[in-house]
Structure 1
């Protein structure tokens, strides 16, 4: 008979001013928290939690407005995300944390790390620059960003016409149809959430400059997919070289969701990065 024992898992709801914030805690060890993107929720991290829970206390949550967290009557403001994370970390009594944010989740994780740098051992930004202004982070002065943006908008429109979710992309949908179906299903769990309004809020709050992060010494890994049509992958390296403790990795056969479509490679990169932090 097998002696395997699944990692411990608990489910909770934290009372916040908007309502209840849903979270799950799996495993044991140093704290590792995950913040999902616009098309996700806590379930987005199923491949990461299963991998890391034997060695880390994994915390996955659903941002306010994303089921099973409570909806927000007048819409979601991403400026509230870092405060929700801070309350959750305090509620769980975590003294130091490692943070992983995908796309929209980068707003949450970067802002928390900037506000509490002494509590963050490591930060992973996947397919995101968080609250940094994207075009302003382009070393070409915006030329490369503008060229990339025009091409990506056309590719997104062509994909949507064929039922392809931009966060997966054409190649991922073709290679991994089951993952594409699962991604779309998780995305649809958000129900009536106005994601276009939320996208506008994300753009409004992405105003930080690289110059403003010149003293930011939290070890930071930026991961991007070379086929991404939502986040310009070349910005990962550009931003990493501008940070005091930054590094970047580009996954060639991945789009906007490398954690989802190339989980083994993503987990390997995060594993190695976390192992280098003490």
Structure 2
């Protein structure tokens, strides 16, 4: 019989502009910081925390403006995310972490890696290149994906498939697909289109910035991703000094949710390789 999970505690920190960042911390050991995407919040990592909290300090937080965190009036500015994450680590008196960022959470992770390299023992970019603009990395496969992606999204929307997941997931795991949508709708009052525009405006970094990322990086991509080009993930990774890319077939934009067991195994192998255990 397996033992109970370590107890969790929830906390919040205030930021100078009035925003609050809500977090949940579970377990002990080397720290992992989980940063969700546009369709989630700290609950998104429910399939990762029970696995990794047995040997790690797992910190799952909601970005400012994403329930139950708050932001000042109006849509949150993603340019504040990295500073919020650094302030959270300071509050918890944690010097270094492996940052695990899904989609929008990759913006937080890349900016942390470039602004505060001493804080990261590793960086996981899950279906994301963050503020690294893959369109600047000169790969014809990205152009082909750009031509194909709008049709993919339109077909998914027409069939009621969340564009941040995938067709196979929606068909084979309808209950989990519904749960993904429920977590997303917790932020129904947030102007996500404004946030989306702002994160896309932040995609200004090129190969020279990718080359400055000093920590080991794990890039995970779903091969059916209609939101972030799998070819773009590979193109960016080629310019990061210590990067590994893992592609997951028949999976969309949320490998961590759609194929949690496989995602967890890949992440565990990365943590083992870099000695973060």
TM-score over 0.5 for the pair = yes
1:270, 1:48 → 2: CA distance? 10
Displacement, 1:171?
A: 1.7
* CA-based RMSD: 1.3
Equivalent positions of 1:217-256 (< 5 A) are 217-256=214-253
Displacement, 1:170?
A: 1.7
1:251, 1:83 → 2: CA distance? 31
Question: For the Cα contact (< 8 Å) 2:132–2:209, is it kept in 1?
Answer: no
Question: For the Cα contact (< 8 Å) 1:8–1:28, is it kept in 2?
Answer: no
Deviates more, 1:237-246 or 1:88-97: 237-246
Question: For the Cα contact (< 8 Å) 1:7–1:53, is it kept in 2?
Answer: yes
Question: For the Cα contact (< 8 Å) 1:237–1:247, is it kept in 2?
Answer: no
Out of 199, 203, 206, the residue aligned to residue 202 of structure 1 is: 199
- Describe the SS at the equivalent of 2:33: strand
Number of the residue aligned with 2:161 = 164
- Describe the SS at the equivalent of 1:207: coil
- Describe the SS at the equivalent of 1:58: strand
Equivalent positions of 1:119-138 (< 5 A) are 119-137=119-137
Deviates more, 1:15-24 or 1:31-40: 15-24
1:202, 1:3 → 2: CA distance? 42
Question: For the Cα contact (< 8 Å) 1:237–1:249, is it kept in 2?
Answer: no
- Describe the SS at the equivalent of 1:47: coil
- Describe the SS at the equivalent of 1:68: coil
Number of the residue aligned with 1:50 = 50
Displacement, 1:5?
A: 2.8
Number of the residue aligned with 1:269 = 266
Number of the residue aligned with 1:102 = 102
Number of the residue aligned with 2:176 = 179
Number of the residue aligned with 1:212 = 209
Question: For the Cα contact (< 8 Å) 1:251–1:258, is it kept in 2?
Answer: yes
Flag as ranges the 4+ runs of structure 1 deviating above 6 A.
none
Runs of 5+ consecutive residues of structure 1 not aligned to the other structure = none
- Describe the SS at the equivalent of 2:48: helix
Question: For the Cα contact (< 8 Å) 2:134–2:235, is it kept in 1?
Answer: no
Displacement, 1:215?
A: 3.3
Displacement, 1:73?
A: 1.1
Deviates more, 1:49-58 or 1:213-222: 213-222
Number of the residue aligned with 2:14 = 15
Displacement, 1:237?
A: 2.1
1:151 lines up with 2:148 in the alignment: yes
- Describe the SS at the equivalent of 1:242: coil
Number of the residue aligned with 2:111 = 111
Give deviations 1:211-231, integer Å, cap 9, x for gaps. Answer: 223232210010000111111
Runs of 5+ consecutive residues of structure 2 not aligned to the other structure = none
1:86 lines up with 2:86 in the alignment: yes
Please, what TM-score do these two structures have when normalized by structure 2? 0.95
